[in-house]
A and B are shown apart, each in its own frame.
Chain A
């Protein structure tokens, strides 16, 4: 499978779905429109600075709160190639897998990687490399069942292939 490489945007604990995509924009479900407001209530600069392939790194409980799939959709449509966190809230975790946004749990990497670092993630091995600091981390690999959904690039394709 593919790998991700990009510049890191770093956030703390409990980044909730309301700051990822505020509900005032949920009268739309268009990915590009959602992406235009991604992270707006926690980081107004994000959408102006993010480039295709960039990576979000956060600490505990990323994506807590609402079940809105608009949150991972906004992140993916903003060009983010991977989210690394200590832990993810469970609905966000499911949603990210189901829409094909790569996410990876790795407490050590989540704590140590800094904003602006260049980071590479190999999805097959789960190895995360901080190119700036020249350090590597072993992220948690997905169970086989979830890997199949990811390989199919989401639940819809997975069901269609069955």
Chain B
């Protein structure tokens, strides 16, 4: 019986020729990640361990991104704790405000994540790096602490679901629509404990930013990780961003999958997840009712990259957001912010009546920078629409692509670029 992409990476990092689903292994880690919410808990736990510092100061990334620039005194104390730990341990990859970005956009951009890596992060969207052919998965703070101390983590080797992507997505259909379609199809626990392996000719028709978005939301289907094969586009991305050598692992011909789905990308339509679960999806064509909205958020680790900014700007250019609606655009990193500025996108956003923020996770998790009041509705390019996620428990979040979010901002109701005059 052959191995999947994920199983091959895990076997290599556990020093084993072969692993199979269900097996418990201990794997060497290439990178351990934490943010300003999860790292303080990890640091406290690590201090209880009988260890002398971190396993490798170059293989830890600390990115304060959730509540920075500090939203209040308690957040400032958390960030201070992370900063002091980073300095004390000479952590190479600590990113201060001014150089930070939203972690899962920042780390690939900085070349810290490459194909064949095993990466754990104390943030559930750590699965993003599967877009580059890495095994990466979210863990909690204690796992992060153990990872920082020992450079190892225990895993139960996952079985996999294979998604065979074929065809080319039509205009206004992006990676976000692909992953929302999949979550709508298999449910929020459809890939529980499993790998989601995305293969097929259609992968070549997806940009790297599409793939980051798709891998990013594997967790929203309960997946342990999402992973793509490494093609020329992925190789070119890594060459551009990283000096690190990488290893390509391909699934064996006779690898076994729990389930297999074929998805024709050309047949997908702009897709929106209704409150209060990412699986409550409808295509734009299925929405008959008039859903008026109060706010739009374009950003996050899911959709705050360059192509997301371009898609939103393409829709907002020469248009204005609806009266009374707040449109908040958050480029995910300083580099995205700069590039958007150079391409004139920030001007387009501001002229359209949107605000543009420094990188932060803020509104996605109801932290700050766009909290919803009772009864308010938001179309957001973020990843979760749980009860109370962005504010009041009686507010509503509709998850969508940047293009749909931008069109909805213009109309003041859920809409699509194809419907704009």
Contacts and interface: CB of A to CB of B under 8 A. Distances in A.
Given A18-B384, A27-B75, A155 B139 contact: no
Contacts of B48: 156, 160
A29 B366 contact: no
- Interface size range of chain B in the complex: 35 or more
Given A67-B123, A87-B189, A143-B24, A160 B49 contact: yes
Contacts of A41: 387-388, 393
B365 interface: yes
Interface residues of A, number: 39
A23 B124 contact: no
A155 B188 CA distance: 28
B143 A18 contact: no
Contacts of B69: none
Contacts of B124: 65-67, 91
Contact of A99 (B40, B142, B192): B142
Given A18-B386, A41-B393, A27 B366 contact: no
B261 interface: no
Given A61-B192, A61-B222, A70 B367 contact: no
Interface string A1-37: 0000000000000101011001110111100000000
B41 A70 contact: yes
A145 B154 contact: yes
Nearest to A25: B74
Interface in A95-139: 95, 98-99
Contact of B386 (A16, A24, A67, A145): A16
A154 B123 CA distance: 20
Interface string B300-327: 0000000000000000000000000000
Given A18-B389, A68-B37, A159-B49, A27 B122 contact: no
Interface in A53-104: 60-61, 64-70, 72-73, 87, 89-91, 94-95, 98-99
Contacts of A94: 139-140, 143
A156 B192 CA distance: 26
B24 A156 contact: no
Contact of B366 (A16, A23, A98): A23
B95 interface: no
A159 B386 CA distance: 35
Contact of A69 (B140, B188, B388): B140
A68 B189 contact: no
B216 interface: no
Interface of A: 14, 16, 18-19, 22-24, 26-29, 41-42, 60-61, 64-70, 72-73, 87, 89-91, 94-95, 98-99, 143, 145, 154-156, 159-160
Given A64-B188, A95-B143, 11 more contacts: A14-B189, A19-B386, A27-B67, A27-B71, A27-B72, A41-B388, A67-B138, A87-B189, A94-B140, A156-B48, A159-B149
7 contacts: A26-B367, A27-B67, A29-B40, A41-B393, A70-B41, A154-B142, A155-B145
